[in-house]
A = this chain, B = another copy of it.
Amino acid sequence: MASPGSGFWSFGSEDGSGDPENPGTARAWCQVAQKFTGGIGNKLCALLYGDAEKPAESGGSEPPRATSRKAACACNQKPCSCPKADINYAFLHATDLLPACDGERPTLAFLQDVMDILLQYVVKSFDRSTKVIDFHYPNELLQEYNWELADQPQNLEEILMHCQTTLKYAIKTGHPRYFNQLSTGLDMVGLAADWLTSTANTNMFTYEIAPVFVLLEYVTLKKMREIIGWPGGSGDGIFSPGGAISNMYAMLIARFKMFPEVKEKGMAAVPRLIAFTSEHSHFSLKKGAAALGIGTDSVILIKCDERGKMIPSDLERRILEAKQKGFVPFLVSATAGTTVYGAFDPLLAVADICKKYKIWMHVDAAWGGGLLMSRKHKWKLSGVERANSVTWNPHKMMGVPLQCSALLVREEGLMQSCNQMHASYLFQQDKHYDLSYDTGDKALQCGRHVDVFKLWLMWRAKGTTGFEAHIDKCLELAEYLYNIIKNREGYEMVFDGKPQHTNVCFWYVPPSLRVLEDNEERMSRLSKVAPVIKARMMEYGTTMVSYQPLGDKVNFFRMVISNPAATHQDIDFLIEEIERLGQDL
Min CB distance A508 to B, Å, is 16
A549–B427 Cα distance when bound, in Å, is 10
Determine whether the beta carbon of A434 is less than 8 Å from that of B137: yes
* Cβ-closest chain B residue relative to A437: B138
CA distance A301 to B260 in the complex (A): 22
| A148 adjacent to B219 (CB under 8 Å) | yes
**A495 CB–B CB distance under 8 Å:** no
Residues from chain B with a CB closer than 8 A to the CB of A58 are none
Given A64-B86, A445-B241; A402-B463 close (CB under 8 Å): no
CB distance A211 to B169 under 8 Å?
Answer: yes
Say how far A446's CB is from chain B's closest CB, in angstroms.
Answer: 4
A295 contacts which chain B residues (CB < 8 A)? 262-269
A296 is an interface residue with CB less than 8 A from chain B: yes
> Is A4 in contact with chain B by the CB < 8 A criterion?
yes
Decide yes or no whether A424 CB sits under 8 A from chain B: yes
**In the complex, are the beta carbons of B171 and A210 less than 8 A apart?**
yes
* Residues of A in contact, count (CB < 8 Å): 226
* A196 located at the interface, meaning its Cβ lies under 8 Å from any Cβ of chain B in the complex: yes
Whole-angstrom CA separation of A11 from B403 in the bound complex: 48
Q: Is A432 an interface residue (CB 8 A)?
A: yes
- Bound complex: CA A68 to CA B212 (Å): 30
Known: A268-B272, A430-B531, A531-B428. A79 touches B50 (CB 8 A): no
Give chain B nearest CB distance to A195 CB in angstroms. 5
Residues of B within 8 A of A153 (CB): 460-463, 465-466
Using CB atoms, name the residue of chain B closest to A464.
Answer: B151
With most chain B CB atoms within 10 A of its CB, the pick from A103, A118, A202 is A202
27 contacting pairs across A/B (C-beta < 8 A): A8-B43, A10-B85, A12-B37, A12-B40, A29-B36, A67-B105, A69-B70, A94-B461, A98-B123, A98-B565, A99-B564, A110-B192, A111-B115, A115-B115, A138-B214, A138-B433, A152-B463, A159-B461, A165-B212, A166-B196, A169-B211, A181-B209, A186-B199, A203-B402, A241-B445, A248-B444, A264-B297
A514 to chain B, nearest CB (A): 22
The 9 closest A-B pairs by CB, nearest first: A293-B293, A7-B85, A69-B69, A266-B295, A12-B37, A267-B267, A99-B565, A267-B293, A194-B198
A191 close to B5 (CB less than 8 A): no
18 additional A-B residue pairs with CB within 8 Å, beyond A8-B39, A12-B37, A339-B425: A2-B88, A4-B85, A7-B85, A18-B37, A99-B564, A121-B200, A122-B199, A142-B215, A170-B200, A173-B201, A173-B202, A183-B447, A191-B199, A242-B446, A242-B448, A267-B294, A290-B419, A395-B447
Selecting from A355-363, A449-457, A479-487, the interface stretch reads A449-457
| Contact of A38 with B20 in the complex, beta carbons under 8 Å | yes
| 8 A Cβ contacts from A340-375 to B | 340
**What is the CA–CA distance of A548 and B84 in the complex, to the nearest angstrom?**
49
A223 x B159 contact (CB < 8 A): no
- Residue from A37, A104, A282, A293 having most chain B Cβ neighbours under 10 A: A293
Report yes or no: B156 in contact with A196, Cβ–Cβ below 8 A. Answer: no
* Chain B residue at minimal CB-CB distance from A535: B432
Contacts of A43 in B (CB 8 A): 8
B68:A109 contact, CB within 8 angstroms: yes
Q: Which residues of B are found within 8 Å of A423, using beta-carbon distances?
A: 283
Q: Is A312 an interface residue (CB 8 A)?
A: no
Which residues from B are CB-within-8-Å of A68?
69, 84, 108-109, 112
Contact A444 B37 (CB under 8 A): no
The closest CB in chain B to the CB of A255 belongs to: B293
Tell me the complex Cα distance, A535–B432, Å.
6
